[in-house]
Structure 1
Amino acid sequence: MPELTTQVRDLLAAEPRLRPADMARRLSVPEWELVSRLPETLIVTLPGVHAQTILERVSGWGRVTTIVEVAGSVFEVKASLPKGRIGHGYYNLLGKPGQLHGHLKLDAVANISLQSKPHRGKEAYAIVFYDADGGCIFKIYVGRDEQGTLFPEQVVAFNALKELKHV
């Protein structure tokens, strides 16, 4: 059987529209194992220690799409990510009505990927947070307007996150 990196690149070449989560299922590997082998033109990987910094930056972007996928179900919130603060071992999202609320266990974030990979045939940018087992905890996608156009200032801000690779 070919090395996993070769399998990933072959699958990407054969089915470029396939989502990383679906690619990982197809190859029977944790999503992080797959993502960390995608070409650097599509993915920038970061250690989980950058999670709070990223969340704080994203809270100033305006409307984004936050996705949690569990057992085949997909939950989406299209709203600005609220500011948060550390308390009782969590990063607590202080959302207003209509915003996401929750308590994020930041020390459970082992890795992060910044994905610049088309989704359903459209240009897309996602920040994906992974646990130590390589599973996806949640994703934040750059937002779109009513016509489906990416918010250009968010694309710029997303690309600026790549600088964290060198911190």
Structure 2
Amino acid sequence: MNAVSDIKPDRRERALAALAEKPDGVVEAIASKADVTPAEILEILPKGAAVVAGKEHFLDIWSAMSTWGDVLFIVHTEDIVLEAEGSLPAGSEAQGWFNIHGDSPIGGHIRKDNCASLTFVDRAFHGRRSCSVWFMNGKGAAMFKVFVRRDANRELIAEQLVKFETLRNHYAAL
């Protein structure tokens, strides 16, 4: 977990300028424009907008989110933004992987040891509040993200939002 002061001044200036241009834009696009990492953009968000938890909390946070019901699971690379809606399976560890299988379209294998931290992100995205948990790798990019879903009116689902806020607040207090 890096502190804001860990960002070199020139990188910080570029990040702040790019964020100021599009404060509710796609973090990866803002980072690319500034030639910094997404983690560096998250670090300069206003206080409370990005709460970081250590990698040792991976299993506890995953387990808590597996009770949220259907979420939006996103993998964002430079080539694809893959979105899947479904519940997070409980998962189990074996042979260096965190394996997720169950009655959900979300499944596969996560190299859990590559997770450097988890960040609870609560910020505006294209004019609307967006809440998500980012599983960050050591390169400063999201391995994947889990978003609080929206209802038919495009509002955050209240029950999930409360669970997100409760979990985030727990880790913010540590």
TM over 0.5, yes or no? Answer: yes
Contact 1:8 1:38 in 2 (8 A): no
Aligned to 2:135: 129
Q: Secondary structure at the match of 2:32?
A: helix
Q: Which is worse superposed, 150-159 or 31-40?
A: 31-40
Q: Which is worse superposed, 10-19 or 43-52?
A: 10-19
Aligned CA-pair RMSD: 1.9
Q: Tell me the number of residue pairs that the alignment of Structure 1 and Structure 2 aligns.
A: 166
One of 89, 98, 113 as aligned partner of 1:91: 98
One of 126, 147, 151 as aligned partner of 2:153: 147
**TM-aligned CA deviation for residue 88 of structure 1:** 1.9
Q: Is the aligned partner of 1:31 residue 2:45?
A: no
Q: Which runs of 5+ in 1 are unaligned?
A: none
One of 19, 27, 47 as aligned partner of 1:40: 47
In 1, distance between residues paired with 2:163 and 2:90? 17
Q: Which is worse superposed, 59-68 or 87-96?
A: 87-96
Q: Secondary structure at the match of 1:23?
A: helix
TM-score (normalizing by structure 1): 0.89
Aligned to 1:68: 75
The code of the aligned residue for 1:149 comes to E
Q: Which runs of 5+ in 2 are unaligned?
A: 1-7
Aligned to 1:110: 116
**TM-aligned CA deviation for residue 2 of structure 1:** 5.5
Contact 1:86 1:92 in 2 (8 A): yes
* Sequence identity percentage: 27
